[in-house]
């Protein structure tokens, strides 16, 4: 083993961290006779991605002060992007400070872009704008980071302004720029502008629209209720639509109660993606809402037989440099008793503030007929109340100073019920609550959300 070079050890380390987990990776790391910068970075990134901020800091300290390493641009960027993925602002800020001290005020395009992306994805869009504004040189990657960040935060108008400035500065937009632009139009309900950009893609900018661009447009048109236009666009596509495009259209059918079109799409989707039961759930709920109980019931039977496969929703937040994670109905946290006491109190106050649990979308999981429903309603409500977002919020209210902003990360889309609960909570507790879900940021303040309920 001693004959192995540092490089091949590092390759082994990377593989072990990726496939056998962090603990085994650490064993390899500790055994290495000699460690290069890449090896240190692999280990640190592993810790950051798993929410182990304290361990990451310990290793950084040892690397820099103990072994005299200096982090180069590549290491800085990999750590920053790990911070973006896990939402670790404290480490991201530290990297910012370190870079300024080591490199100087102008940290360069690469690290600057990493910082913009990190701040945007950690919910600090203001800080991202400041870093971006101070960058003396900006390439298309930097612009994309800024524009995507603004799009994620639902700042549709700022995205459009930014795009104009980008063109003015003579930077050529690419396919990613347009993806951010179109998704911003979609999240802000700017249908006509979205159409305009989509049409200019090829004709003015010479970019061939890809599947993702079509998916964005279908989403944009669908949300706005223009389902016929969305369908026509899909038919005009030069390649066959994938399940993301069709799934988005089905979602819009659900929102706008178009059962017939929904049925048709569902049939196509089942052929494309036979193992995914999410579509069945959507259609079944659509039937239930439009009073077609018999159809809803037969779909539920199919689902029951196959077993509903769902990715569990988790919500997490950093408090005191540590990641706290919750799943629905979680009782594993050491503060569980306190969290549930806070939750009870919170629900009571939310109800006084006008919160009505939205049990309709939960019909499928609670019961099979309408009579069962009224009996099961209480139970369904209980399930709603212990959604991971609400547990995280209760935890945050206990563990952060009053008046401070609460940052929550959710791995899936935030549900309708939690969305309305968060709005009222932000008012009752006088707190800004920022939730980053799988698609975007929601910033709840004084009873309303930055998305204006358009998501």
Residues near Zn ion, by CB under 5 A: 387, 415, 418, 442, 449, 451
Of 14 and 417, the one with the shorter C-beta distance to Zn ion is: 417
Comparison of 430 and 452: residue with beta carbon closer to Zn ion: 452
Indicate the residue among 112 and 357 with the shorter CB distance to Zn ion. 357
Which residue's CB is nearer to Zn ion, number 78 or number 315? Answer: 315
Q: How far is the CB of 442 from Zn ion (least distance, A)?
A: 3
Q: Which CB, 266 or 433, lies closer to Zn ion?
A: 433
Which is nearer to Zn ion, 108 or 189 (by Cβ)? 189
| Closer Cβ to Zn ion, 31 or 453, answer by number | 453
State in angstroms the smallest separation of the CB of 373 from Zn ion: 19
- In the complex, minimum distance from the CB of residue 441 to Zn ion, in angstroms, rounded to a whole number: 8
Min CB(165)–Zn ion separation in Å: 27
The alpha carbons of the chain give a radius of gyration, in whole angstroms, of 24
CB of 185 to Zn ion, least distance (A): 17
- Residue 361 or 368: which CB sits closer to Zn ion? 361
Least distance to Zn ion, CB of residue 18, Å: 32
Taking the complex as a whole, how short is the minimal distance between the CB of residue 444 and Zn ion, in angstroms? Answer: 7
Q: How far is the CB of 445 from Zn ion (least distance, A)?
A: 11
CB of 43 to Zn ion, least distance (A): 35
Which residue lies nearer to Zn ion by CB, 13 or 451? 451
Residue 231 CA to residue 13 CA, distance in Å, equals: 49
């Amino acid at each position: 083993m001693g004959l192995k070079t540092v490089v091949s050890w590092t390759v082994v380390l990377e593989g072990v961290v990726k496939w056998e987990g962090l603990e085994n990776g650490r064993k390899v790391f500790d055994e290495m006779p000699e460690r290069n910068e890449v090896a240190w970075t692999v280990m640190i990134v592993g810790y950051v991605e798993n929410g182990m901020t304290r361990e990451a800091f310990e290793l950084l300290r040892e690397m820099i002060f103990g072994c005299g390493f200096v982090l180069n641009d590549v290491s800085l960027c990999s750590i920053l992007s790990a911070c973006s993925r896990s939402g670790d602002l404290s480490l991201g800020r530290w990297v910012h400070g370190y870079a300024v001290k080591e490199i100087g005020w102008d940290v360069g395009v690469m690290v600057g872009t990493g910082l913009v992306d990190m701040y945007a994805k950690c919910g600090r869009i203001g800080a991202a704008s400041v870093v971006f504004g101070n960058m003396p040189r900006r390439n298309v990657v930097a612009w994309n980071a800024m524009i995507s960040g603004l799009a994620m935060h639902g700042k549709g108008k700022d995205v459009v302004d930014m795009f104009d400035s980008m063109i003015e500065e003579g930077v050529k937009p690419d396919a990613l720029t347009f993806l951010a632009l179109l998704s911003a139009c979609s999240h802000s309900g700017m249908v006509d502008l979205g159409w305009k950009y989509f049409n200019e893609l090829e004709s003015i900018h010479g970019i061939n629209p890809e599947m993702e661009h079509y998916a964005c447009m279908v989403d944009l048109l669908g949300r706005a209720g223009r389902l016929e236009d969305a369908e026509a666009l899909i038919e005009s596509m030069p390649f066959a639509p994938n399940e993301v495009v069709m799934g988005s259209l089905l979602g819009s059918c659900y929102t706008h109660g178009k059962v017939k079109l929904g049925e048709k799409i569902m049939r196509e989707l089942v052929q494309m993606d036979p193992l995914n039961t999410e579509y069945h759930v959507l259609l079944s709920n659509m039937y239930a809402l439009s009073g077609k109980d018999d159809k809803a019931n037969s779909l539920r039977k199919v689902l029951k037989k196959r077993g509903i496969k769902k990715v569990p929703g988790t919500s997490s937040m950093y408090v005191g440099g540590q990641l706290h994670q919750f799943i629905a109905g979680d009782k594993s946290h050491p503060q569980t008793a306190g969290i549930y006491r806070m939750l009870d109190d919170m629900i009571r106050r939310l109800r006084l503030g006008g919160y009505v649990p939205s049990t309709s979308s939960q019909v499928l999981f609670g019961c099979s007929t309408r009579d069962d429903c009224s009996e099961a309603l209480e139970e369904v409500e209980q399930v709603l109340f212990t959604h991971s977002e609400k547990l995280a919020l209760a935890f945050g209210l206990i563990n952060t100073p009053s008046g401070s902003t609460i940052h929550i990360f959710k791995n899936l889309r935030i549900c309708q019920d939690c969305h309305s609960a968060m709005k009222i909570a932000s008012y009752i507790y006088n707190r800004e609550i920022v939730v980053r879900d799988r698609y975007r940021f929601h910033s709840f303040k004084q009873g309303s959300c930055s998305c204006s309920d358009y998501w």
